[in-house]
Amino acid sequence: MSLQSEDLVSLLEDRLYTKEELLDLVFRVHPEYSFNSCQWVIGSLLKNNVIYSLGYGFYRLCHNRFAPLPSEMPRDKIAKLMDGSFGNVKKAMFHTSLIERLSGKSLDRKATIIEVEKDQAFGVYYELHDKLSQRMMLDPNGKEIAMYFEDNAIIIRKLFSKSPCAETGFITVEKLIVDLIADPLFGWLYPLEDWDDLVASLIQNYDFKISAVMNYSLRRKCAELIASLIKKHLPEDMKKIKESF
């Protein structure tokens, strides 16, 4: 079975859809399809980034997928080491130039941040420390960053439990929205910065799964604040989903 994307996508409106509404739309385009085939079509739309899931049973057309630029990812040698020795490890990586681009601010501290599962942190630290001539910091606290940070350091951290991660290993927008509010690292690195405007911009401009953000914010104990920011900055036509959390 092939996905007749042109016929189907041309009927998709720029609004929230429930699963039932999508199934009905697919069936109208392909009345010969079974229920399972219609579900397969929806899965294909998700896989091909035609639509995305916001959670709570809602879907919408993709507008702006979140993805770091090559310059905002760990440099080639770091990426190759991580892919080689830790390719199957759950991780979230980025370079702080990502924050500069998204915020429009010039930051005085540059670093590569690599978060990995707790039991892998020491292994990643020693692997990179052994093969790179670069300042390495393992799960530093605020005092250690203030005293020992060097520009373009590599900071290895323990990944917060059940963080929303991508198969690529690079940080997700869902994780970044919450971490900018809840993770003390951003305050330690940039004590004079306020990230509320950046969080608002991420909510307004990128496709993201709201349920993943809310689940993560509960674990990071900032769910009430995150919920208020999402409700404030989501477009008005997202009212239905605002009532779900």
The structure tokens listed for 102 are 């998204």
What distance in Å separates the CA atoms of residue 26 and residue 20, rounded to the nearest whole number?
A: 10
11, 50, 59 from 14: Cα distances, Å: 10, 12, 10
Judge whether 226 and 180 are in contact, CB under 8 Å: no
Q: How many CB atoms lie within 10 A of CB 31?
A: 7
Q: For residue 5, what pLDDT is reported? A: 59
Q: In which order are the strands placed within the sheet that holds 153-158?
A: 91-95, 111-116, 153-158, 136-138
Backbone angles phi, psi at 175, to 5 degrees: -70, -40
Predicted model pTM? 0.92
What distance in Å separates the CA atoms of residue 3 and residue 45, rounded to the nearest whole number?
A: 9
Q: For residue 169, what pLDDT is reported? A: 92
Judge whether 227 and 73 are in contact, CB under 8 Å: no
Q: For residue 1, what pLDDT is reported? A: 39
Averaged pLDDT in 10-residue chunks for the chain of 245 residues: 65 94 93 92 93 96 92 84 88 95 94 95 93 91 96 95 93 98 96 95 96 97 96 87 86
Q: For residue 3, what pLDDT is reported? A: 47
